[in-house]
Amino acid sequence: MDTKDIQQLIDFISQSGLDEVNIETSDLKISVKRYGSGAPVAAAPAPVAAAPIIVAAPPAAEATSAPIQPVASTPATPKAETSNYITIKSPMIGTFYRSSSPDTPSLVEVGDSVSEGKVVCIIEAMKLFNEIESEVSGRIVKVLVENATPVEYDQPLFLVEPI
């Protein structure tokens, strides 16, 4: 089982609503658990024979399973300027899109008000388009990522001024 397979498995589990899954093969043992609705899903591989999987599996597991976490500031902007802002971060690795298709307007623009649950962008990961919802209410102050560019796990996407 390679990291891509593990990543697909974790994506499937996170969307399925299961709280715990254990998989064991001759080379690998994976235990994936979800702790409530606000905590990230954790993967704990314990390979029997293949040491390279130990190094590669944990980053893939963490990169695809955590929900959006609001944070007070982002390292890309001076702290004094962002002290009142909340950052919406990418919950996964993929390609960031501001709209659902190239010929439709952006889901949110600078100055738009957002509420909890409003879709703010789409991230394509492994040919799946995932709608990213805001977990905070407020006003979009800044879009930190260009349309159709790759994003990393936990990368800041938007700055939101809370209401």
Please tell me whether residues 61 and 98 are part of one structural domain.
no
pLDDT at residue 159 is higher than 80? yes
Q: The tokens of 20 are what?
A: 């715990």
Residue 137 belongs to some domain of the structure: yes
| 49-85 confidence digits (pLDDT tens) | 444 444 444 444 444 445 555 544 445 545 555 579 9
Q: From start to end of the chain, where are the E strands? A: 20-24, 29-34, 41-43, 86-89, 94-97, 113-114, 119-125, 128-133, 138-143, 149-151, 156-162
Domain housing 136? 79-162
Q: Are 96 and 45 part of one and the same domain?
A: no
Q: What CATH number does the domain containing 83 carry?
A: 2.40.50.100
Smallest CA-to-CA distance from 142 within 116, 112, 101 is with 112
Single pTM value for the model: 0.51
Residue 60 is encoded by which pair of tokens? 């893939």
pLDDT tens digits for range 88-98: 999 999 999 99
The separation between the first and the last C-alpha atoms of the chain, rounded to the nearest angstrom, is 46
In the listed set 65, 98, 116, which residue is the last one of a domain according to the structure? Answer: 65
Q: How far is CA 108 from CA 38, 68, 81, 89, in A?
A: 24, 17, 22, 15
